Amino acid sequence: MATHYFTVTWDQLHRDAKALAWRLMEGGPYKGIIAITRGGMIPAAIIARELELRLVDTISVVTYDEEDMGEPHVAKPATVSADGEGFLIIDDLVDTGSTAKVVRGLLPKAHFATLYAKPAGKPLVDSFVTEVSQSTWILFPWDTEPQFVAPLGKRRNDA
């Protein structure tokens, strides 16, 4: 279980994806993007727009069930490239690096970029925007929803 939680809003996610696109512009041109599903799909769409890339594929590597991590397995391989040459791999986060190791093994010549990186996985990616601690669980906007929270003063009186 994580000891810290960091909530990313839709606005923040968009800003971070655009910042990553800025960094990636220097390394192009790219043939296309391979998004790691599911977390990489939305950042990949934003980056594809910013870099004017029309070719977008996916690779699905299943690693997590909620906050529990298991052994990664490829549920759907990428089909646009044999080794990733000329392609960007986009994901939302590199955590322990288990997904990144699998994808790197399949697409060793691609440029691997994530929005967020934890120390254990950071050496496996080529580009990222923000580093977070290993003990932080990032709550992405597609995993959360706004809800009412009682004011602090009211919660103190109810305790």
Q: What is the mean pLDDT of residues 90-96?
A: 96
Of the residues 16, 92, 126, 158, only one is catalytic, namely: 92
Could you give the residue ranges of the DSSP H alpha helices within the chain? 10-25, 41-50, 98-106, 152-158
pLDDT at 134 over 60: yes
- Active-site residue flag, 92: yes
Whose CA is closest to 124, among 89, 73, 80? 89
Of the residues 11, 57, 83, 95, only one is catalytic, namely: 95
Q: What is the mean pLDDT of residues 120-132?
A: 96
* pLDDT, tens digit, 9 for 90 and up, residues 8-65: 999 999 999 999 999 999 998 999 999 999 999 999 999 999 999 999 999 999 886 6
- Active-site residue flag, 91: yes
- Enter the tokens of residue 43: 């950042």
Q: What is the mean pLDDT of residues 117-135?
A: 96
Q: Which domains does the chain have, with CATH numbers?
A: 4-158 (3.40.50.2020)
Residue 78 confidence (pLDDT): 94
- Model pTM score: 0.86
Of the residues 11, 65, 91, 143, only one is catalytic, namely: 91
pLDDT at 157 over 80: no
Q: How far is CA 138 from CA 40, 48, 98, 120, 132, in A?
A: 14, 23, 17, 15, 9
